[in-house]
Amino acid sequence: MRPSLAKTWRSGEPLIWLTGGALAFVLLLVAGLIGLILSNGLGFFWPKDVIRLTLADGKIMTGQVADREAIPGQPGQSRIKLKVANRDLYGADFTWVDEAEIARREYPPDVAVIERTEWGLLIGTVKEIRDGDAVVATGSEAGWVEVDKHPLQHVRFPNVFSLGDASSLPTSKTGAAIRGQAPVLVQNLIAAIQGKPLPARYDGYTACPLVTGYGKLILAEFIYDGIPKETFPFDQSKERWSMYQLKKRGLPLLYWRGMMKGRA
C-alpha cells in the first residue's frame, strides 16, 4: 500500500464516507417506502369519481376509471379500464371500454359506492332502504322523489309533495320550472292539510335559455311532452339578441330580487 493511501485509510475518513453513504441510502429507501405507502394509501381518503358512460349502441356502464391505454394494433385509438365493481353480479371487477364507442360521459350525483366485507365494492343507485323487512324509504328508479306529475303529490304517501330537481317530474329541471311548480305545490299542500281535493295542476312548464353564439340565444319554453308554451308574441325558436339580453340582464333580477325573495 502506498504511504499516502495508508495514511488516508488510517485516518478513518473512507469509513466515515462509507457509513454516511450507507445511512443516506437507507434514508432514501425509507423515504421511498413511505412515499409508496402514502401514494397507495392516501387515495383511500379521496375516492375516485364515478362516471357513467353511454355507448354508441345505447349500453350504459357506470364505474371508476382505473386506467387508460392505447389499443394494441390500432394506432390513435385508446381504451379505458373501468372498475364497474359488483363482482357478484357481473363476474368481474373491471372491463375495458374503447373510447371511440363512448357517446356520452356524465358524473351522476346519485350514485353510491359501498364497501362490502365480501365481493369488493358495490356501485349503484339507492332504490330502497329497509329496517329488517320493513321498507323505510324508497326512491324512483333514478332516486327521485316519486310524485304525480300534475298535483306534485307523492304516488304512495299522500302527505308528501315534491318539486324542483329532487322530484321525479318528467320535465327539464330548471329554476323556471320551479317557478311554475311552487304555486301549485303550495295550493295543493294547503288543500291536503285541510282535507280538501287538490285544486292546482302543474302543466310541466319549463324554460331553457340556450346560448347559441356571442350575443345570441334561443329561449325554449315548453310544457310536458315538449309542447311549446312561449311567453313572447314572436317566434322564440329563432336565436335572438333580445333573448340573450333578457337572460344576461333580466333573468338575474328575476331570480335574485323576485324569486329568491318570494316576490315573483
Residue ranges in contact with ligand FAD by CB under 6 A: 164-166, 173-176, 178, 209
CB of 152 to ligand FAD, least distance (A): 12
How far apart (Å, rounded) are the C-alpha atoms in residues 230 and 252?
19
CB of 172 to ligand FAD, least distance (A): 8
How far apart (Å, rounded) are the C-alpha atoms in residues 77 and 95?
17
Query: Closer CB to ligand FAD, residue 67 or residue 110?
Result: 110
Query: Closer CB to ligand FAD, residue 121 or residue 166?
Result: 166
How far apart (Å, rounded) are the C-alpha atoms in residues 162 and 148?
9
CB of 241 to ligand FAD, least distance (A): 17
Residue with cell 332516486: 143
CA separation (Å) from 232 to 172, 205, 215, 228, 249? 20, 15, 19, 12, 17
Query: Closer CB to ligand FAD, residue 61 or residue 254?
Result: 254
Residue 27 in grid coordinates: 434514508
Query: Closer CB to ligand FAD, residue 95 or residue 212?
Result: 212
Q: CB-based contacts of 17: which residues, under 8 Å, 6+ apart? A: none
Cβ atoms of residues 100 and 88 within 8 Å: no
CB of 167 to ligand FAD, least distance (A): 8
Residue 239 in grid coordinates: 336565436
DSSP-H helix ranges across 196-263:
241-245, 251-253
CB of 209 to ligand FAD, least distance (A): 5
Q: Find the residue with minimal CB distance to ligand FAD.
A: 164
Query: Closer CB to ligand FAD, residue 125 or residue 174?
Result: 174
First CA to last CA distance, the chain: 99
CB of 255 to ligand FAD, least distance (A): 8
CB of 155 to ligand FAD, least distance (A): 19
Query: Closer CB to ligand FAD, residue 61 or residue 113?
Result: 113
3-state secondary structure of 33: helix
Q: E strands within the chain?
A: 51-55, 60-70, 78-83, 94-98, 102-106, 111-115, 121-125, 128-131, 134-138, 206-213, 216-222
Query: Closer CB to ligand FAD, residue 178 or residue 191?
Result: 178
